Amino acid sequence: MLNWSECSAVERVPGKVSGAWLFVGTRVPVKALFENLESGATVEDFLEWFPGVKREQVEAVLDHAQRSLVGA
């Protein structure tokens, strides 16, 4: 299980989008990135579809996920 509290690109705000992990400063859930990537979208597609999310945030989330998997 990923510990998203260790990733500075995401936040969880009680009462905001049902308490889901979100990209900081947005209402875009982190899981939306992974769902779109799994469906064949590219990072470029995701950034176009969710303009409030910054490339640096996506890169930080993907890096965090990769590090977590390597450590597992």
Domains and CATH numbers, the chain: 4-70 (1.10.10.10)
* Owner of token pair 């977590």: 68
The three-point CA angle 45-72-68 to 5° equals: 35
What are 7-19's pLDDT values in tens digits?
A: 999 999 999 999 9
66 burial via Cβ count (<10 Å: 0-12, 13-18, 19+): exposed
Q: Which helix (H) or strand (E) covers residue 36, if one does?
A: helix 30-38
Average pLDDT, the chain: 94
Contact 19, 12 (CB under 8 A): yes
- The pTM (predicted TM-score) of the whole model is 0.91
- SS3 label, residue 43: helix
Average pLDDT for residues 65-69, to the nearest whole number? 89
